[in-house]
């Protein structure tokens, strides 16, 4: 489902367009090779600045690495234009952020339906899909609530439902329980485990209980994979 081969990435430190090997830079990833199969949850751990978030962004096609290749569902992301990566991401990838990133003026159902708007799905079908997903994550009685009317755990459930709106093959999650209390975090992890039964999931976290749901934990340090717990 996901395959990275010798992926490296450098961020420029100046204001100009970054030129690898010429401009001052910070190396976030160093020759990372990784594969993630369907039905597998891969955990990413490592200290802050180890490259976890950059790796998630690369897998999701949110950035193009400065070296190496990334194959997503049989397509080389690094060979696509920005528009091509966006189309591939909308078809195949769901993203769960630590701070939810819900639009405060939209209901839970409208937030979940947003990715379907981008895909041109008719309104009645969007409502039906979003309602079903909120029911699946235990929020059938919260579909019309605004994010500000929901608890942190409920907002994260909405965010997970939104990530699943397009029925993605791959889900990437960046510290999905970092803003939650222990009990609520446990509920969210159970939900991610259920989601992962037929998808490839990559989750970055510092939290041992979050990493415990993974089938395999990969440790990063200074942008390198130093341990791959297959």
Give pTM, 2 decimals. Answer: 0.88
- Asked whether residue 44 carries a pLDDT value surpassing 90, the answer given is yes
> Which run of H or E residues covers position 10?
strand 2-12
What lies within 8 Å, CB to CB, of 76 at 6+ separation is 69, 70
In the chain the domains, ranked by start, together with CATH numbers, are 37-61+80-215 (3.40.50.300)
Residues 185-224 have pLDDT tens digits of 888 888 888 887 889 999 999 999 999 999 999 999 999 9
CA geometry: angle at 51 spanning 102 and 30, to 5°?
A: 145
Least confident window among 105-114, 121-130, 184-193, 214-223: 184-193
Among 37, 80, 35, CA closest to 62: 80
pLDDT of residue 13: 53
DSSP state of 141: G
For residues 28 and 11, the answer to whether their CB atoms sit within 8 Å is: yes
In this prediction, residue 15 carries a pLDDT of 43
């Amino acid at each position: 489902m996901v395959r990275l081969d010798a992926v490296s990435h450098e961020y420029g430190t100046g204001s100009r367009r970054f030129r690898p090997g010429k401009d001052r830079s910070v190396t976030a990833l160093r020759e990372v090779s990784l594969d993630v199969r369907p039905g597998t949850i891969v955990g990413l751990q490592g200290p802050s600045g180890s490259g976890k978030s950059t790796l998630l962004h690369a897998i999701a096609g949110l950035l193009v690495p400065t070296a190496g290749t990334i194959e997503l569902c049989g397509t080389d992301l690094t060979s696509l234009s920005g528009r091509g990566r966006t189309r591939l991401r909308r078809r195949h990838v769901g993203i769960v952020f630590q701070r939810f990133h819900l639009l405060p003026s939209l209901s839970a159902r409208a937030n979940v339906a947003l990715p379907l708007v981008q895909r041109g799905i008719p309104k009645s079908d969007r409502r039906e899909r979003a309602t079903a997903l909120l029911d699946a994550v235990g929020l059938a009685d919260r579909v019309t609530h605004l994010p500000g009317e929901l608890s942190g755990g409920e907002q994260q459930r909405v965010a997970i439902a939104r990530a699943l709106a397009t029925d993605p093959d791959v889900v990437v999650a960046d510290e999905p329980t970092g803003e939650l209390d222990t009990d609520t975090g446990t509920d969210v992890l159970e939900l991610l485990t259920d989601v992962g039964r037929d998808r490839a999931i990559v989750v970055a976290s510092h939290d041992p209980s979050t990493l415990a749901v993974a089938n395999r934990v990969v440790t990063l340090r200074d942008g390198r994979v130093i341990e791959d717990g297959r």
